[in-house]
Amino acid sequence: MNIAEATAAFKSIVELVSRLSKFTQAVLAIAIAVAALAAGWKPVLGFYEWCLSKYDGKILDLFKELERAGKLKHPGKFVNITAVPLPLQEIVKTVQRPKKHVYKSLRRLENAGELEEVTAGWILKGKTVYAPPRAYRL
């Protein structure tokens, strides 16, 4: 379809709509708006989830880095070793975010199956809680 054909098609649509009553034009405009919102909802939701994953990723990276450091300190000894469970206040201090925001991020990560809450704090999901002496704490 070239520009001339597209222009002719657009003019015919405008002429057809102008023949409709004002009520029918309003209903048509509402239907088009609803269709546009429905079509645009998925990309907007995807962008929102992407932003959340970037925001929550800083907290998840903290846990993964602590696990990696623990494995480097104890190479080959424990397959499922993880750092000491991190309490909420320590996570808040490390990532420098409000407690409420950190807690919501932790809950989202828990619902996603990345983290789990234990008695002493939070750990990576599926890892054994290992509590080394205080001197080895990460």
80 — pLDDT class (breaks 50, 70, 90): low
Q: CATH assignment of 3-136?
A: 1.10.10.10
Q: Is the pLDDT of residue 62 over 50?
A: yes
> 97: which 2 tokens?
């975010």
With a CB cutoff of 8 Å and minimum separation 6, the contacts of 125 are: 110, 113, 114, 115, 116
State residue 136's pLDDT score: 47
* Arithmetic mean of pLDDT, 7-34: 87
Instruction: Output 120 or 27, whichever has higher pLDDT.
Output: 27
Q: Is the pLDDT of residue 133 over 70?
A: no
Whether the CB-CB separation of 56 and 107 falls below 8 Å is answered with: no
130 — pLDDT class (breaks 50, 70, 90): low
